[in-house]
Amino acid sequence: MKFSTLAVLSGLAASTFATPTPPTHVVHEKREHQLNKWSRRSVKLNRDAVIPMSIGLTQSNLDQGYEFLMDVSHPESQNYGKHWSMQKIKETFAPSPATIEAVKSWLIESGIEQERHKLSNSLSWIRFNVTVEEAESLLKTEYSIYENTNTGKEHLACEDYSVPAHIQEHIDFITPTIHFDATVKKEKKTRDLQTRAMKVKPTKLIMPGPDTVPQPEVKYTLANCYEYITPDCLRALYNFTNGTLAQSSYGIVEYTPQAYLQSDLNLFYSNLQRQIASGTAPTIDLIDGATVQTSTQSFDDNGESDLDLQYAIALVYPQKVTLYQTGDAVEGASFNNLLDALDASYCTSGGGDNPTYDAIYPDTASGGYKGAENCGTITPASVISTSYGYNEADLPAAYEVRQCNEYMKLGLAGTSVLYSSGDYGVAGNGGECCTAAKCVGGTYNSGSSGTFNPAFPATCPYITSVGATQVKPNTAVTATNPEEACETVIYSGGGFSNVFAIPSYQASAVATYFSAHKPTYTATQYNNSQTVRGYPDVAANGANYVVAVDGSLSLVYGTSASSPVFGSIITLINEQRVAAGKAAVGFLNPTLYANPSAFTDIISGGNQGCGTNGFTAVAGWDPVTGLGTPNYPKLLAVFLALS
Ligand SMILES: *[C@@H]1O[C@H](CO)[C@@H](O)[C@H](O)[C@H]1NC(C)=O
Ligand SMILES: *[C@@H]1O[C@H](CO)[C@@H](O)[C@H](O)[C@H]1NC(C)=O
Ligand SMILES: *[C@@H]1O[C@H](CO)[C@@H](O)[C@H](O)[C@H]1NC(C)=O
Ligand SMILES: *[C@@H]1O[C@H](CO)[C@@H](O)[C@H](O)[C@H]1NC(C)=O
């Protein structure tokens, strides 16, 4: 009421001829599904109660992010390698003065006086206290008390809210509105943790324990890499040697409670990488109350971290590997929590966390870490590899776009961000497929039919997505002998996004794929419009890794292995560039797609799922193994030739 009266008055003041019309409100956010743990209570709200309200402002210049990133990472750009400082990134994307002004004016016209507004230091939030009555009038909504049916905890929320049409572009989101607090997230967390972890499966135990493990030269040779992958097999496959200069940086991300065991690293070194001294550990950055826990030990607790760290440490040795151990033992963490630690402007901006999906620290609700969340406290490494992932359909598209833009900023800062592409072929985590067209709604079946279920962040165009290959049976490993798509235990995640448009760096590779090898599937299975992002970008071996886990050597499978191996090769290239006085390579994809001959093309095998054979690895880029596996000397020559 108050709002439209004031708007009419100011409209009259501006022009005596204009017919005053109240601004049209448009719905800004609406709850998509009712969360079944919360019930709306019918009790009357005290409409004089005061609540703290926060408006997340829209960042500037995001529409130019792609071009900014190409400017520093396209091989033909004059500015290749001239990465931006975090300060320049912050200033470029901070909300514009016009945005701040538009939102403040709207508040003032709505009766929330200037003196009540507080602008955050990052300029990304406007905060103020309002009565429930004022909030309802401002947002054309109705608040209710919702009760958590498990805990009895109460929460103030609404079903949807509206803002004037001309304000919408300036606002990311407003709290408290449709979002629930951390209690909901903790319940979701259990599900998230299951779906998030790429499954790496121990299918057979090679030997019972360290005392009886045979000497590597007896058991593991280059002749049996098709049965047992070791660091030496990977060096032979991709034609690289160990590091020497120790001048670059490489981060491996792990999410608590998953953790490595030093005893497993030592066991791995003594069997497979004997020049590395027992006790050699990663440099550890603990994020948001994380611990490298040793209290529960099992393949699920230790398999992922042991695999990632053993191979990263061995392949870049004597360079150091940094472990980003993220999240406490109670709340855990999401990719946004890591991004908050790497970029201070993200944790405070309207583009940041959503308590439904991200852990909120300090954790006052669930008895976890009570300290402040890590916010810009970690300097991003030159290469960051993560072997965890979601289904694209697990998360709202707007949330994914915000997070993906953050990877764009890391690319601008000179970091190569790598994610494994998933282990279930065209299906999603756990082999599940979508029940609805375009995977809308995030409901899944058991995977014998349905719509292909792409992975996130694999489909974000600002990361490098790494798929999996395997050595052909009874084949010697050499850099000239192509592998095939991985079909042992796991299938390389690949396909096409339902959220992200095709980036230009990939357009010609994808067009060639469709013109020469058009799949027979229809739009029922996947988005075949040729206008969406295809993944993975590249591949590396993902089968039969010898890994020390919980005191013995196991065989492990997954794109979980492929990503840290590809990241190690990029780290060795960075080391050479640094030695030549050049910057780290940063965002990789434009250079990779411009130089397909630096890869060994993979042309056999497929990535079955959802009751189909999936896609097939063919000549050129394909949605199974991307451009293929790296040829280190060729890739090194490509990157060393750039400024
Ligand atoms: C809102 O009120 C609380 C409690 O009085 C106060 O601590 C807080 O600073 C106020 N917030 C703003 C933005 O004025
Ligand atoms: C590189 O590896 C070889 C054995 O493969 C080893 O002899 C050499 O010491 C290593 N170099 C460094 C710097 O660790
Ligand atoms: C491996 O790389 C070296 C250069 O470092 C090259 O001379 C050799 O031919 C390569 N081997 C194969 C099998 O491509
Ligand atoms: C495929 O993606 C494009 C671009 O986002 C979209 O316009 C189109 O509707 C999608 N098609 C299907 C069948 O999902």
Instruction: Please give the single-letter amino acid code of residue 157.
Output: A
Is residue 614 a contact partner of residue 624, using CB atoms and an 8 Å limit? yes
**What pLDDT, on the 0 to 100 scale, is given for residue 244?**
80
The architecture (CATH level 2) of 185-207+218-640 comes to 3-Layer(aba) Sandwich (3.40)
| pLDDT higher than threshold 80 for residue 196 | no
Closest by CA position to 353, among listed 364, 372, 338:
338
d(CA 639, CA 643): 8
Rounded mean pLDDT, 566-572: 98
Instruction: Tell me where in the chain the CATH 3.40.50.200 domain(s) lie.
Output: 185-207+218-640
Range with top average pLDDT, 180-184, 188-192, 309-313: 309-313
Say if ligand 3 is within 6 A of residue 163 CB.
Answer: no
> Average pLDDT over the chain, rounded to whole?
86
Tell me which range, 209-223, 238-252, 408-422, is most confidently predicted by mean pLDDT: 408-422
Among 329, 324, 339, smallest CA distance to 282 is for 324
Choosing from 73, 137, 465, 560, the catalytic residue is 560
The mean pLDDT of 337-366, rounded to a whole number, is 70
- Taking residues 319-342, what's their average pLDDT? 88
The verdict on whether residue 181 carries a ligand-binding annotation is no
Q: Mean per-residue pLDDT for 407-434?
A: 95
Strands (E), 188-327: 250-255, 283-287, 322-326
Beta-carbon contacts of residue 197 (< 8 Å; ≥ 6 apart)? 258, 300, 304, 388
In the annotation, is 308 catalytic?
yes
pLDDT band of 195, cuts 50, 70, 90: very low
Give pLDDT, residue 35.
56
pLDDT at position 182 is: 28
The confidence band for 204, taking pLDDT boundaries of 50, 70 and 90, is very low
CA of 355 to the centre of ligand 1 (A): 21
Output the six-digit token pair for 470. 């395997």
- φ, ψ (nearest 5 deg) of residue 97: -55, -35
Q: What pLDDT shows up at residue 190?
A: 26
- pLDDT score at 127: 87
Tell me the per-residue pLDDT of 19-43, one tens digit each, with 9 for 90 and over. Answer: 446 678 999 988 765 555 678 888 7
What's residue 203's pLDDT? 27
Is 622 labelled a binding residue? Answer: yes
- 3-state DSSP: the chain helix, strand, coil percent, rounded to 5? 35, 20, 45
Nearest partner of 417 among 425, 426, 408, judged by Cα? 408
**DSSP H helix total and E strand total for the chain:** 18, 25
SS3 365: coil
SS3 441: coil
Q: Ligand 2, atom 14: nearest CA belongs to which residue?
A: 318
Question: Tell me: the pLDDT tens digits for 495-540?
Answer: 999 999 999 999 999 999 999 999 999 999 999 999 999 999 999 9
> Would residue 108 be called left, alpha or beta, if left means φ above 0 and alpha means ψ between -120 and 50 degrees?
alpha
Best mean pLDDT range from 327-341, 349-363, 398-412:
398-412
Q: At what angle do helices 132-139 and 2-14 cross, to 10 degrees?
A: 50
Checking if the pLDDT of 18 tops 80, the result is no
Rounded to an integer, the average pLDDT of 109-131 is 87
**pLDDT value, residue 472:** 97
The average pLDDT across 338-342 equals 88
Q: For residue 153, report the phi and psi dihedrals to the nearest 5 degrees.
A: -65, 140
* Secondary structure of residue 630 in the 3-state scheme: strand
Indicate if the pLDDT at residue 206 is higher than 90.
no
Of all residues in the chain, the percent with pLDDT exceeding 70 is 86
Closest C-alpha among 226, 320, 302, 310 to residue 270: 310
Contact 75, 594 (CB under 8 A): yes
Which of 400, 439, 529 is the best mutation target for the ligand 4 pocket, counting ligand atoms within 8 Å of the beta carbon and taking the most? 529
pLDDT at 185: 26
Reduced to 3 states (helix: H, G, I; strand: E, B; else coil), residue 624 is: coil
Distance 275 CA to ligand 2 centre (A): 7
In the reported structure, the alpha carbon of residue 21 is separated from the centroid of ligand 2 by a whole-number distance in angstroms of 77
The answer to whether the CB of 523 is under 6 A from ligand 4 is yes
The answer on whether 601 is annotated among ligand-binding residues is yes
CB-based contacts of 261, cutoff 8 Å, min separation 6 = 294, 297, 302, 306, 550
| Angle at alpha carbon of residue 386, lines to 384 and 392, rounded to 5° | 125
What does 506-545 look like in DSSP terms, one character per residue?
A: HHHHHHHHHHHH--S--TTTS--SS-EEEE-SEEEE-S-E
Q: In angstroms, how far is CA 534 from the centroid of its own chain?
A: 16
Under the banding of pLDDT at 50, 70 and 90, the label for residue 348 is low
Q: Which residue has the higher pLDDT, 56 or 530?
A: 530
What's the confidence (pLDDT) of residue 153? 72
Per the structure block, which two tokens stand in for 95?
Answer: 């909300």
The atom of ligand 4 lying closest to the CA of 438 is: 14
Cis before 362 (ω within 30): yes
Whether the per-residue pLDDT at 624 is higher than 70: the answer is yes
Q: Is residue 296 predicted with pLDDT exceeding 50?
A: yes
